[in-house]
Structure 1
Amino acid sequence: MSVTIETIKQKILEQAMRGELVEQDPNDEPVEILLEQIKEEKEKLIKEKKIKKQKPMQPIEEDEIPYELPKGWQWVRLGEVAELLNGRAYKKHELLDEGEGRTPVLRVGNFFTNNSWYYSDLELSDDKYCDNGDLLYAWSASFGPKIWNGGKVIYHYHIWKVNIFGGVSKQFLYFLLLKDVIDIKDVTTGSTMIHVTKANMEKRLFPLPPIQEQFRIAEKIKSLFSLCDKWEEEVTKQQNHLSVLRNKVLDDAMRGLLVEQDESDEPAEKLLEKIGEEREQLIKEKKIKKQKALPRIEEDEIPYDIPENWSWVRFGDVSFNRDGERVPLSKSERESRSGKYDYYGASGVIDKIDDYIFNESLLLIGEDGANLIRRKTPIAFIAEGEYWVNNHAHVIDAMEFTMLKFLEFYINSIDLKPYVTGTAQPKLNQSSLNKILIALPPLNEQKRIVEKIENIYEYIDQLEKHMVLPK
């Protein structure tokens, strides 16, 4: 089973917050002294009217404590060691485009991924700005901590600035909050949008070590995370290399470079004749419909040279289209017909229903959707057993199963953009699919090619299986 870099980082944080990452030092100043200093600092700031007096924190009950801490550590509530400062809520007309305002407005989207910024020309109190080195916490939807390094900005209402008391290590508190995000997500259902309230956040329980140990822990986590990041870069490179290898295998296969040609193989021309004869028989038996004549292959269409006993053909010349047997079902129909049979769409199985249409191995090819362009999942895939297909996947049969496998690899190896229509909703209609140019080897060579690809892919799969994956 593959391990992810993310789970390794989570394990590091878990060990750190249990006191298992670095050794305890009996010479460290006890955490009780730090808490006393924090109390004195807060009283001084209240007296100077720099912070407001808090309501007393609820005492920590024994049944709240999740695990035992090392000697010298103590459970505290976040509100005892830090103050969460609210950002400013903006009206729509106050958010200006670039060039219209002086100061960027940091929203939750900018906090994580979005590079589209709004600006403000308002003059605000100092506590509504944050700058490099400030610890922030986004509390709505995408949530979590960040040590800001993007210059002076105004932080939005859905972000808190964390004002830390008593010299508590900012980096340690950042990692503490990062670990807490994992804990919150662990008890929240995947579909739920998470909003962390200020009152609840201030009441959350955190393990607090002596100040010197906080710094040692933070440095150790940074060091280990840095190793993880380097490891992730290396794994990503390896994955990219394997992806390139897969593509190279397919490319070589479809040019006749993956396996040796055998002069005793019956040429592709003879195979085409046999396919034509079978097509006529199937039409006669009314199992498939007669298709329109396909355009002749022009010389300027041919992209590369192929072996002598291969032939350039169109997809429709070597396949039998069975789209007429597909039956789409609405979501409500599928819900009322829930069952054990796979229900296929453009990118694979999307549901289970109570009946099947097909009971044989056939090639399915996505008919529409963004995947035709993005290619995040295979466009062509074999469906086996008993299953149902909707009208978003072409259903393709062939003279032999080997040909279906060859066509599957072939379609997944080529750029389909020249055959796809539409931009908002890309579509590969039956007419365009049938016109796709195919480099067709003899049937026996197809078998050797398919076997060779499968053997190489199995080896690549084994390599990937034992990798530590990035996410």
Structure 2
Amino acid sequence: MDLPTFWDNFEVIAEAPGGVQRLRELILDLAVRGKLVPQDPTEGQAQEQLANLRNERAEHLAKTADSNTEYRRMLKKLSALESSVPPFDIPSNWSIAHLIDLSLLVVDCHNKTAPTTFEGIPLIRTTNIRNRQFRFHGMKYVDQDTYEFWSRRCFPEPGDIIFTREAPMGEATIIPDGMKVCLGQRTMLIRVFEQFVDRNFVLLALTEPGLIKRLASNAVGMTVKHLRVKDVEQICLPLPPLAEQKRIVAKVDELMAMCDRYEVSKCDRNTLRTKMRASANDALMNAETDESLNTAWEFVQEHWECLIQEPEEVETVRKVILQLGARGKLSKQTVTDGSVDKVIEQAQHEKNALSKKKPFPKLRKIKPLDEVEQPFQIPRSWTWVRVETICTHIVDCLHRTPKYQENGYPAIRTSDIQPGKILVDQARKVGIEEYQTQTQRLIPQEGDIFYSREGNFGIAAVVPPQCEICLSQRMMQFRVASNIDPYFFSWVMNAPVIFNQALNDAAGMTVPHVNIRSLKQFVFPLPPFAEQKRIVIKVDQLMTFCDNLEAHLHETQEKATALAAAVVGQLEV
């Protein structure tokens, strides 16, 4: 593919996930390989210009070498410099040279921590340079005396390049006009021979991603990887004729500005989409009638391409759906559904019957519900209950790590559960004896609900049929009464109404977790049994829509990424 075709596909790459950053990297890669602008024979040969640079620099350094220690060091290092080898193919009129061979001076910083003040001369540390720019946030300063002592080898001047060789290595920028700075630790000063070398081209070449990767492979150090001074001095850089250097810099600036505009445009679109999504969510959550709810949901379905463009954004829709279900806004209330009081009475009857059997624990009195505890209004045919009111069993895991083995019974960890789904196939296994130990309090059966209560807490899912599993650490198990739909219970346990209570309970803990005593007291919105069933059907339908939407977004992203990669891959770079 030729470059004009590549530029025609510029937007394709920019719109792919991570595309703008990939474009920035590619622009620099093309720049240092001579692929960004055409070569002009009238601009001469870089090798001849490099020879002229060496001659004039030698003359310049020799004049003051007797009185300038750094110039004497430069002459000594340059005399011992070996020939350089290009890391990739370059145009025939280009040359290759070590960084020190393009410079008047390459000076390391004073390798001690400078005493700082609240104001004065900026002390440039490695954290103050990112993406070829100074970062003034967190800038520290030094006084005049410290500046003079720390800069005694070489006073930084506007136009000098500052390069970081550790934490992080490979960042660089140019000191702008009118700025007086002091070098901090782990930085180096590079003063190129501006008569023959464009400092901005050197800056681009020093920050080209391919070079950074090559430098990283040569870095030393066990704890913190860093570059030695010699490593920086002997960086091999491609060298075009000076006129082409300037054309390359101008082209890079133009294309980087395009990237900036794409980035701003993306950011603006994301901001607008976030506002639209928030408005749509509010319309769904605050719908007072079936008609207004249907209108709000139709808006989401018709405009999902505008509202949701990232797979991660689908999660917000899922939470809204669950909260709508928990508020009674996904189903119609009918008088034929019966009384919710009957549901509670049946649950209590089942618990009373179980309490007479050993070793079932004695029933304790459930704390009455206060109206203040009710987080929102629910339909008149519903009621608020505590979680333990509608459960016949609430069992915590054994607080020990199971003895895992290659085969056996799946032991479900917090990483093996997603809202509404237990990932049985990925769970670690335990043997029969360990399974019996883990299930001594209650053997899981179809329709039980597993719940994560520590780490990635607040996730519930129903135990599927024909599945012999057990709890692992940080998990708990619910068994609801016969007239409580386990899938309804599970969906509400995943909804914000319960998760927010869990979040409040876990607040301030070193290791966030839900206390089982607190969880039993969580308030739970309860409809009649028939309506529970209708809500489950509706939630399942909407979750299927979300699953399909998420899969579509993943597929779209993958296609965009593959297309961008194909465009990039066809470039001869």
Query: Above 0.5 in TM-score?
Result: yes
**Partner SS state of residue 243, structure 2:** helix
User: What is the CA-CA distance between 1:325 and the residue it aligns to?
Assistant: 3.7
Alignment of 1:50-129 (within 5 A): 51=71, 52-53=74-75, 54-55=77-78, 56-60=80-84, 65-82=86-103, 83-91=105-113, 94-98=114-118, 102-111=120-129, 115-121=137-143, 122-124=146-148, 125=151
Alignment of 1:129-208 (within 5 A): 130=156, 134-147=160-173, 151-166=179-194, 167-178=196-207, 179=209, 180-185=211-216, 193-208=224-239
Does residue 466 of structure 1 match 2:556? yes
Distance in 2 between the 1:9 and 1:286 partners? Answer: 70
User: What is the CA-CA distance between 1:452 and the residue it aligns to?
Assistant: 0.9
8 Å Cα contact 2:397/2:471 also seen in 1 = no
Note closer, same or farther for the CA distance 1:365–1:46 as it changes in structure 2 (3 Å cut). same
8 Å Cα contact 2:111/2:185 also seen in 1 = yes
Q: Counterpart in 2 of 1:20?
A: 35
Alignment of 1:262-273 (within 5 A): 263=334, 272=344
Note closer, same or farther for the CA distance 1:407–1:137 as it changes in structure 2 (3 Å cut). same
RMSD: 4.4
User: What is the CA-CA distance between 1:70 and the residue it aligns to?
Assistant: 2.0
Q: Counterpart in 2 of 1:373?
A: none
User: What is the CA-CA distance between 1:346 and the residue it aligns to?
Assistant: 7.6
Q: Structure 2: which 5+ residue stretches go unaligned?
A: 1-14, 278-307, 419-425, 439-443, 562-573
Q: Aligned pair count?
A: 447
Deviations 1:238-259 (A, max 9, x none): 3855467743652364144763
Distance in 2 between the 1:140 and 1:282 partners? Answer: 67
Q: Counterpart in 2 of 1:407?
A: 493
Does residue 259 of structure 1 match 2:279? no
Q: Counterpart in 2 of 1:444?
A: 533
Does residue 219 of structure 1 match 2:250? yes
User: Which protein is bigger by CA-based radius of gyration?
Assistant: 2
Note closer, same or farther for the CA distance 1:157–1:271 as it changes in structure 2 (3 Å cut). same
**Partner SS state of residue 414, structure 1:** helix
Distance in 2 between the 1:16 and 1:433 partners? Answer: 60
8 Å Cα contact 1:95/1:118 also seen in 2 = no
User: What is the CA-CA distance between 1:86 and the residue it aligns to?
Assistant: 1.2
User: What is the CA-CA distance between 1:119 and the residue it aligns to?
Assistant: 3.4
Distance in 1 between the 2:360 and 2:42 partners? Answer: 85
- Which stretch has the larger CA shift, 251-260 or 12-21? 251-260
Give percent identity, aligned residues only: 17
Distance in 2 between the 1:96 and 1:390 partners? Answer: 53
**Partner SS state of residue 34, structure 2:** coil
Note closer, same or farther for the CA distance 1:412–1:295 as it changes in structure 2 (3 Å cut). closer
Does residue 4 of structure 1 match 2:83? no
Distance in 1 between the 2:117 and 2:397 partners? Answer: 53
User: What is the CA-CA distance between 1:465 and the residue it aligns to?
Assistant: 5.2
8 Å Cα contact 1:258/1:449 also seen in 2 = no
User: Which structure's residues are more often helix, by fraction?
Assistant: 2
- Which stretch has the larger CA shift, 410-419 or 11-20? 410-419
User: What is the CA-CA distance between 1:195 and the residue it aligns to?
Assistant: 0.9
Q: Counterpart in 2 of 1:371?
A: none
- Which stretch has the larger CA shift, 128-137 or 208-217? 128-137
**Partner SS state of residue 145, structure 1:** strand
**Amino acid across the alignment from 1:84:** V
Note closer, same or farther for the CA distance 1:133–1:204 as it changes in structure 2 (3 Å cut). closer
**Partner SS state of residue 259, structure 1:** coil
**Partner SS state of residue 367, structure 2:** coil
Note closer, same or farther for the CA distance 1:258–1:305 as it changes in structure 2 (3 Å cut). closer
TM-score, normalised on structure 2?
0.64
- Which stretch has the larger CA shift, 5-14 or 235-244? 235-244
Q: Counterpart in 1 of 2:57?
A: 42
Deviations 1:221-276 (A, max 9, x none): 33333333443444455385546774365236414476342536566655555655
Distance in 2 between the 1:131 and 1:289 partners? Answer: 80
TM-score, normalised on structure 1?
0.76
**Partner SS state of residue 466, structure 1:** helix
Q: Counterpart in 2 of 1:327?
A: 400
8 Å Cα contact 1:77/1:203 also seen in 2 = yes
Q: Counterpart in 2 of 1:418?
A: 504
Does residue 344 of structure 1 match 2:413? yes
Q: Structure 1: which 5+ residue stretches go unaligned?
A: 369-376
Note closer, same or farther for the CA distance 1:346–1:269 as it changes in structure 2 (3 Å cut). farther
Deviations 1:350-397 (A, max 9, x none): x985637588885443425xxxxxxxx775265988888654455556
8 Å Cα contact 1:265/1:445 also seen in 2 = no
**Partner SS state of residue 250, structure 1:** helix
Note closer, same or farther for the CA distance 1:322–1:40 as it changes in structure 2 (3 Å cut). farther
Distance in 1 between the 2:31 and 2:338 partners? Answer: 67
8 Å Cα contact 1:367/1:394 also seen in 2 = no
Counterpart pick for 2:430 among 355, 358, 361:
355
